[in-house]
Amino acid sequence: MADDYPPVLDAAMVAELLGMNIDTVRRLSRDNVIPSHRVPGGRTFKYLKDEILDWLKAQPAHNPKEETADHK
């Protein structure tokens, strides 16, 4: 699936790739949570596909069963 995307992405492409809302992608970019770049003088974020995939791989997995076990 990721092979279908070009090496440089816009926020809409990142949102689609990650299954997120575009506003969430933009907020994470502004908050420096997700790797993003701005061209000098530009207002929009650009993303390198490899950086996005590396960032995603580095995120801890969420297991709802573990969370439920912790609350017992």
**12-27 pLDDT per residue, tens:** 999 999 999 999 999 9
**Residue-wise pLDDT tens digits, 25-69:** 999 999 999 999 998 998 899 999 999 999 999 999 877 676 555
- The range of the structural domain enclosing residue 31 comes to 2-70
Domain count, the chain: 1
Give bridge partners of residue 48 from the DSSP assignment. Answer: 8
| pTM of structure | 0.79
Distance, in Å, from the CA atom of 36 to the CA atom of 44, rounded to the nearest integer, reads 10
Task: State the pLDDT at residue 1.
Answer: 73
Coil, strand or helix at 66: helix
Task: State the pLDDT at residue 71.
Answer: 54
Instruction: Give the contacts of 69 (CB within 8 A, at least 6 positions apart).
Output: none
Domain with residue 53: its CATH number is 1.10.1660
Q: What is the CA radius of gyration of the chain?
A: 15
Distance, in Å, from the CA atom of 59 to the CA atom of 3, rounded to the nearest integer, reads 20
